[in-house]
């Protein structure tokens, strides 16, 4: 029998002291970001507040943040009610996400055109369109903003530094689409928060844990020190934290190796420890130290393996075989399950620590109820994620943590963009 490498998986554990440290570091970065000081958290003002729930009308939303994107048409009925919606999904190919801005926005405009043709025959009415664009965008108003950098493997040329709403408007006109007004620009976290708060007044955090990860929350305008004078006032403004770039974290040798091999080393450190684009890669790096697996270990394998309760870990075995192992033994399968569990548990606990930091910033003593709206494939598919987040919030807040409600806000990002378009329309 070959001797297997002994691997210390404890490096992935985060004790309560580590969670407390993360909360403090996150809050300190939030404070710096709001002041416009150097910080790993961009804390982007979005020029939008939460809706009243009374917004009404017909809107279109374009929800773009990964290789699949969606176009929706929906009716806001007021009183927190959303009517029947039409939806079409499209897929971006490699040539779209690594080519020029013309090719990228031209394809999106083509898709909007086919959506309108299919769903709005005979209607010449102008409709407001909310554009969810889930990348770090420096907003100048609710309907304009320039891309700071690409994340999640996108590399379209000619977009960084440019106004993405202008690029979309231009592409739509070029394709002869003249009956939509791009009237709002939103991050997916903002869409998620806004969609849930349309019917839930306690909702004050929107989180995405999918291909990428990020969160937003409403901040008192007086605390957003870096806001230009004209935008100052009373009330609240939602801040897109861009938490994926948080970097005050203890890294294992696996995190360091993953970051080094990535196409954006030194950036999006939290994202590389939490999101679907990287979790599988990370687990794969640990597994490869002991098992003879080849090729890619996909994030989606992890939830299947973690949930494998078959007697012989048959599902785990099937996956290991897919990755090139000929006859994995019971030890190998148990080890694999353990690695997946430990890597995803750390991801959930880190997300929870950041959520706790945001809640403490808004409500130090946890004197109110808070709803945290979460969307994203990783959160949705990993049944353990929610349990781990709740357990970690309990560690941080004790019994008061029952005031925090975590909800899955499915497809919130698109709906939210339509609601923001309604808010912007006034």
Tell me phi and psi for residue 184, to 5 degrees.
Answer: -150, 145
In the bound complex, what is the minimum distance in angstroms from residue 419's beta carbon to ligand GLC?
17
Q: Which residue is nearest to ligand GLC (CB)?
A: 212
Quick one: which of 313, 278, 273 has its CA closest to 297?
Answer: 278
- Catalytic: 188? yes
Residue 107 or residue 379: which is nearer to ligand GLC going by CB? 379
Residue 29 or residue 188: which is nearer to ligand GLC going by CB? 188
Joined together, the tokens standing for residue 186 give 């939103």
Residue 40 or residue 187: which is nearer to ligand GLC going by CB? 187
Which among 5-13, 55-63, 130-138, 331-339 is the span making contact with ligand GLC, rule CB under 6 A? 130-138
Joined together, the tokens standing for residue 45 give 């003002």
Query: How far is it, in rounded angstroms, from Cα 413 to Cα 65?
Result: 10
Joined together, the tokens standing for residue 129 give 């369109």
* Choice from 22, 40, 127, 134 touching ligand GLC (CB under 6 A): 134
Subset of residues 86 to 125 that bind ligand GLC, contact rule: CB under 6 A: none
Distance of CA 181 to the CA centre of its chain: 26
> Residues 178-217: x/- map of binding to ligand GLC (CB under 6 A)?
---------xxx------------------x-x-xxx---
Quick one: which of 322, 311, 382 has its CA closest to 351?
Answer: 382
C-alpha angle 81-82-84 in degrees, rounded to nearest 5:
140
* Choice from 42, 50, 96, 152 touching ligand GLC (CB under 6 A): 152
In the bound complex, what is the minimum distance in angstroms from residue 135's beta carbon to ligand GLC?
5
Subset of residues 267 to 286 that bind ligand GLC, contact rule: CB under 6 A: 271
Query: How far is it, in rounded angstroms, from Cα 56 to Cα 423?
Result: 9
> Residues 14-53: x/- map of binding to ligand GLC (CB under 6 A)?
----------------------------------------
State the DSSP string of 81-131. EEEEEEEEEEE--HHHHSSBHHHHHHHHHHHHHHHHHHH-TT----EEEEE
Provide the annotated active-site residues. Answer: 152, 188
Q: What residues line the site for ligand GLC (CB under 6 A)?
A: 65, 134-136, 151-152, 187-189, 208, 210, 212-214, 242, 244, 271
């Amino acid at each position: 029998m070959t001797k297997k490498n002994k691997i210390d998986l404890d490096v992935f554990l985060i004790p309560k002291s580590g969670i407390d440290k993360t909360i403090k570091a996150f809050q300190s970065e939030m404070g710096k970001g709001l002041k416009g000081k150097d910080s790993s958290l961009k804390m982007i003002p979005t020029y939008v507040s939460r809706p009243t729930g009374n917004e009404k009308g017909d809107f279109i939303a374009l929800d773009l943040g990964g290789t699949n994107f969606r176009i929706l048409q929906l009716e806001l009925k007021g009183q927190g009610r959303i009517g029947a919606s039409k939806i079409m999904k499209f897929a971006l190919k490699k040539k779209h996400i690594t080519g020029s801005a013309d090719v990228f926005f031209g394809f999106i405009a083509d898709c909007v055109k086919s959506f309108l043709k299919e769903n709005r025959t005979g209607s010449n009415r102008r409709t407001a369109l909310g554009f969810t664009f889930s990348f770090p965008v420096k907003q100048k108003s609710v309907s304009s903003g320039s891309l700071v950098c690409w994340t999640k493997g996108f590399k379209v040329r000619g977009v960084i530094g440019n106004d993405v709403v202008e690029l979309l408007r231009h592409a739509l006109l070029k394709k002869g689409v003249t009956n939509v007004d791009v009237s709002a620009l939103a991050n997916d976290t903002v869409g998620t928060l806004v969609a849930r708060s349309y019917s839930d007044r306690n909702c004050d955090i929107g989180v995405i844990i999918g291909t990428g990860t990020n969160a937003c929350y409403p901040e008192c305008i007086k605390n957003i020190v870096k806001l230009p004078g004209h935008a100052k006032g009373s009330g609240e403004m939602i801040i897109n934290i861009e938490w994926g770039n948080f970097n005050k974290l203890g890294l294992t040798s696996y995190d360091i190796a993953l970051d080094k091999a990535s196409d954006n080393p030194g950036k999006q450190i939290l994202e590389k420890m939490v999101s679907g684009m990287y979790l599988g890669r990370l687990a794969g790096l640990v597994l490869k130290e002991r098992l003879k697996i080849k090729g890619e270990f996909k994030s989606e394998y992890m939830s299947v393996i973690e949930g494998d309760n078959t007697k012989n870990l048959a599902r785990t075995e099937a996956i290991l075989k897919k990755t090139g192992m000929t006859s994995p033994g019971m030890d190998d399968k148990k080890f694999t399950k353990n690695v997946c569990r430990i890597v995803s548990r750390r991801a959930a606990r880190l997300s929870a620590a950041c959520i706790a930091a945001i809640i403490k910033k808004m409500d130090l003593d946890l004197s109110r109820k808070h709803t945290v709206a979460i969307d994203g494939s990783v959160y949705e598919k990993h049944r353990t994620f929610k349990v781990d987040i709740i357990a970690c919030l309990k560690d941080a807040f004790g019994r008061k943590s029952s005031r925090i409600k975590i909800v899955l806000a499915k497809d919130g990002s698109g709906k939210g963009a339509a609601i923001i378009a309604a808010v912007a329309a006034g």
